Each structure stands twice: as C-alpha cells, then as structure tokens.
Amino acid sequence: MVDLASLMLLMSFFGAKIAIAYVVVGLILAVIGGTLIEKLRLEKYVQGYVREIENTDTDFVVMSRDERISYSKDQVKDIIHRVWLYVLIGVGIGAILSFMMAVTALSLPSMIMPSKVVKPKLLVIFVFIVSAGIIIIGYLFNAFSYIFV
C-alpha cells in the first residue's frame, strides 16, 4: 500500500500533510485488512509450500565483537555478490513501472508477489479489501481536504 515512490510524489505535489496522511491511512488500511483476513480465517488460502518452509532458528553462538564484525562483513559481501545484478535490474524495472503505474497497491507487480504465496480466492479478497479501502480513503480525503490544505 505505502511505498517510497508514491510518498515522494505526494510530498512533491501536495506537501507534507497529504504525504503523512497517505502513510498513516495506508498503514491503518493494511492493519485493518490483515486483521479482517485473519478474522475470516483465510489461512487455508495460503499456498501449501509456505507452511512447509522449515524453521531456520539456530543455536545462539557467542562471538566476540571482532568476530561479529568479521562475520557481518563476510555476510554482506556474500549477499551483495549474489544479488547486486538482480537489485540493479529490479530498480531499473521498478523505476520504469513507477512512472506507468498510478495505483501501486493493485498494480501488476504488486499482484504477482502475493499470488505466489496465496491462492486466487484470498488474492481476490485482498484486492477487494484494498480497493474498498482506497475508495473509502478517497472519499474521506475529499470530505476532509480542508484539513490538509
């Protein structure tokens, strides 16, 4: 719902009050929507493989400060080495798409990610909740626009 590109656009076009209101109502909608999905007990619509992911908790290892720093540097180097190209491509695609997509929460890239972990029925419910929330928020912004201007 809330992403940096939309926040920056709103900030530049409408100012800080509208941008902050966007973040606040977006987070409220996300919490209400998540709570609603939980209350409707829609866990059965999460893809099966998500439940099969093993717990990766490990034993606590005591390390000195220097060992932690060395370990952290090695991990950062490894992660950067493995993903830098994908991050660069993703940022490039995301920048092109951010100009073309007016609604970030319901855009094609935003639907592809959850569609990999939830079944179609839950995805449709998600789209309905987000659409209804966006419409309600739009009416509320119009009704109380004098506060933000």
Over 90: is that where the pLDDT of 10 sits? Answer: no
46: which strand partners? 118
pTM for the full predicted model:
0.48
The C-alpha atoms of residue 49 and residue 29 are separated, in whole angstroms, by 28
Among 13-17, 40-44, 66-70, which is the least confidently predicted range?
13-17
pLDDT by residue (tens digit) across 67-125?
A: 999 999 999 999 888 887 876 775 555 447 444 444 577 777 788 888 888 898 998 99
User: Are 23 and 7 in contact, with CB atoms under 8 Å apart?
Assistant: yes
Q: What is the 3-state secondary structure (H, E, C) of the chain?
A: CCCHHHHHHHHHHHCHHHHHHHHHHHHHHHHHHHHHHHHCCCHHHECHHHHCCCCCCCCCCCCCHHHHHHHHHHHHHHHHHHHHHHHHHHHHHHHHHHHHCCCCCCCHHHHHHHHCCECHHHHHHHHHHHHHHHHHHHHHHHHCHHHHC
User: Are 26 and 1 in contact, with CB atoms under 8 Å apart?
Assistant: yes
Instruction: Region of 54 please: left (phi>0), alpha (psi -120 to 50) or beta.
Output: beta
